[in-house]
Amino acid sequence: MIVGGEKGGTQTAMTADQIRAAFLGFFQERGHRVVKSSSLVPESDPTLLFANAGMNQFKDLFLGKEQRDYARAASSQKCVRAGGKHNDLENVGVTARHHTFFEMLGNFSFGDYFKQDAIEYAWEFLTRTMGLPADRLTVTIFRGEDGVPRDAEAHGFWRAHVPADRILELSAKDNFWAMGDTGPCGPCSEIHYFQGDSLPCPEADAGRACPGVECECDRWLEVWNLVFMQFNRDASGKLEPLPAPCVDTGMGLERVAAVVQRKLSNYDTDLFQPLIEAVGQRAGKTYGRDADDDVSLRVVADHLRATTFLVADGVMPGNEGRGYVLRKIMRRAMRHGKKLGIEGAFLHELTGVVVERMGAAYPELIPQAPSVRSVVKTEEQRFGSTLKQAFAIFEQVAQKSEGAGVIQGADAFKLYDTYGLALDFTEELARDRGLRVDKDGFERELEAQQERARQSSRMGAVTGDPVYLGLLEQHGRTGFTGYEGLALEDARVLAVVREGQPVKRLEKGQEGGIVLDRTPFYANSGGQVGDHGVIGAEGATAEVTDATLPVPGLYLHHVKVTAGAFEAGMTVRAQVDRERRAGARRHHTATHLLHAALREQLGPHVKQAGSLVAPDRLRFDFSHYSGVSAPEQRTLENRVNAEILKSTPLTSKVMGREEALAYGALAFFGDKYGERVRVIEIPGFSKEFCGGTHVDNTGEIGLFLLTSEGGVSAGTRRVEALTGEAALARAQADQGILEELEQSAKADRRQLVDEYAKLRDALKAKDREIQALRLKLAQGGGAAAGPSDVEEIGDVKVWTPRYEGLDKKTHANVIDEFRNQNRNRSFVVLSASVGEDGVHVISAVSDSLKARLPAPELMKRLGLRGGGRPDFAQGGGVDAAGVDEMRRKAVDVARQVLGAAA
pLDDT per position as a tens digit, 52-72: 899 888 888 887 777 888 999
pLDDT of amino acid 6: 36
Q: Is the pLDDT of residue 8 over 90?
A: no
**pLDDT bucket at 672, cuts 50 / 70 / 90:** low
Mean pLDDT of 811-825: 89
DSSP state at residue 519: E
pLDDT at residue 483 greater than cutoff 60: yes
Indicate whether 782 pLDDT > 70.
Answer: no
Residues above pLDDT 90, as percent of the chain: 57
pLDDT digits (tens, 9 = 90+) for 680-717: 999 999 999 999 999 999 999 999 999 999 988 778 89
Q: Is 491 left (phi over 0), alpha (psi -120 to 50) or beta?
A: beta
pLDDT score recorded for residue 671 = 56
- Cα 431-436-854 angle, rounded to 5 deg: 85
What type of residue sits at position 252? G
Q: Among 39-43, 365-369, 459-463, 640-644, name the one with the lowest average pLDDT.
A: 459-463
- Show contacts of 232-236: CB within 8 Å, 24+ apart: 232/183, 232/184, 232/185, 233/178, 233/181, 233/182, 233/183, 233/185, 234/182, 235/182
- Per the model's pLDDT, the better-predicted residue between 613 and 467 turns out to be 613
Cα separation, 554 vs 406, in Å, equals 60
The listed range with the strongest mean pLDDT (603-607, 774-778, 898-902) is 603-607
DSSP-assigned letter for residue 86? T
Summarised one tens digit per residue, pLDDT across range 847-858 is 999 888 999 999
pLDDT band at 87 (very low <50, low <70, confident <90, very high): very low
The packing angle between helices 273-283 and 347-358, to 10°, is: 160
- Quick check: 113 and 88 in contact, CB under 8 A? no
CA 200 and chain centroid, separation: 39
Q: What is the pTM of this model?
A: 0.68
Residue 616, φ and ψ in degrees, nearest 5 = -115, 5
DSSP annotation of 64: T
Q: What is the mean pLDDT of residues 91-114?
A: 93
| pLDDT attached to residue 668 | 66
The kind and range of the H/E element at 792 are strand 790-793
Which pLDDT score is estimated for 425? 73
Find residue 759's DSSP bridge partners.
Answer: none
Mean of per-residue pLDDT scores for the chain: 88
- Whether 101 shows a pLDDT value over 70: the answer reads yes
Is the CB of residue 721 less than 8 Å from the CB of residue 590? yes
- Mean of pLDDT values over 804-822: 88
CA 423 to chain CA mean position, Å: 24
For residue 545, count other CB atoms closer than 10 A to its CB: 13
- For residue 691, the 8-state DSSP code is -
Q: Are 730 and 707 in contact (CB under 8 A)?
A: yes
pLDDT at residue 464 in the model: 53
How far does Cα 294 stand from its chain's mean position?
A: 30
| CA within 13 Å, CB half, 212 | 13
Give the model's confidence band at 763: pLDDT under 50 very low, under 70 low, under 90 confident, else very high.
confident
pLDDT band for 752, please (50, 70, 90 cuts). Answer: confident
Tell me if 888 sits within 8 A of 856, measured CB to CB.
no
How much is the pLDDT for 462?
37
